[in-house]
Chains A and B, each alone.
Chain A
């Protein structure tokens, strides 16, 4: 029994990846990364330039999402956040469909900016607020955006970590694989193995994720929640 929610654990892991002074952007449908970025901004990263799509206080553009995408294509984003309907051991993301793309079992929302931002943002944090073998698969059905690219492809950026309610994976660029970095407190290796669709063998050394501190939880539940509510009112109502 813990005194914090899985979302608070994920937001705290995300906050620790944000560096002061860098440009950090959060896309659509991402209240948990928005919480993590603002937690960092309100603590160790006061000089970070924070961009949150649909947030009236953190949207420094005047000409639609095109201006943001052009800004990102020029390589101006240091840290971004992506997810996938499926994520595989190589860090490949599937946002297209589960099953046949023309007659899918599940139609996913589509890639939107993901196939560009996964290359052009210098570091990308992958996140899921649920963790199951249906999501973390050995091989995605369709590659919306690959975890790594050959040298002939212009790719300044790529995956950094993947954070879930159970664990943190770190992307190993040499092995081109997600490697278990830490398991959250109270989560057993057996549970993690059961809920993950790819083998975790060869990941023996993973430690335990540092849980949120009392100060981090206090900020998440007060100032961060109030700020996130400006873009995600329904999420902030539900978070308790």
Chain B
């Protein structure tokens, strides 16, 4: 697909899959073409979801594009409701034909935020950033926060305790 701008940057050297071609409608002009991104699996978090896969997504994010670019889509959601209720919700509505599975997961975006629902947990993000500097400390983070809690409720209870 074409992207405006870009031509003459070092992306042409660093990203050989990016191609510069003559504009078919104005051949003296050069335009950048990039291949479409295709994902095998997308994991996204929705404001609301229905059992048939209908989703309501945060309007500032690009999750609706990610859904259409991915073979398998697993959506966690703040709430499960009927498809008609999801379609009537404020946000970007995606039909269930694109979605493989939905999971009810309140505060599923923690430690990041869902606008209008809950704020970022800045202390937890800082802990993650500090742990991410090397493999050893990051393994410690995974042990404590990913593999340690028995489920999401236990994870949130531990996060809220601090």
Contact = CB atoms under 8 A, between A and B. Distances in A.
Interface of A: 54, 56, 59, 61-66, 73, 96, 101, 111, 115-120, 142-146, 149-150, 152-155, 234
Contacts of A96: 10, 14
A156 B6 CA distance: 13
A150 B30 CA distance: 10
Interface in B5-41: 5-11, 14, 23, 28-31
B44 to A, nearest CB: 12
Q: What band does the interface of chain B fall in when counting residues whose beta carbon is under 8 Å from A?
A: 20 to 34
Nearest to A65: B62
A contact patch SS: loop
Interface string B95-116: 0000000000000000000010
A153 B29 CA distance: 6
The 3 closest A-B pairs by CB, nearest first: A119-B5, A116-B5, A64-B62
Contacts of A115: 5-6, 9, 11
A180 B61 CA distance: 39
Contacts of B30: 152-153
Interface in B53-78: 59-65
Nearest to A145: B9
B92 interface: yes
A54 B11 contact: no
Given A64-B92, A119-B5, A59 B60 contact: yes
A152 B29 contact: yes
Contact of A64 (B23, B29, B60, B115): B60
A158 B30 CA distance: 17
Q: Which of B23, B60, B92, B122 has the most CB of A within 10 A?
A: B60
Contacts of B10: 96, 101, 142-144
A192 B23 CA distance: 44
Contact of A118 (B5, B28, B29): B5
Contact of B14 (A101, A116, A119): A101
A143 B6 CA distance: 10
A111 B10 CA distance: 11
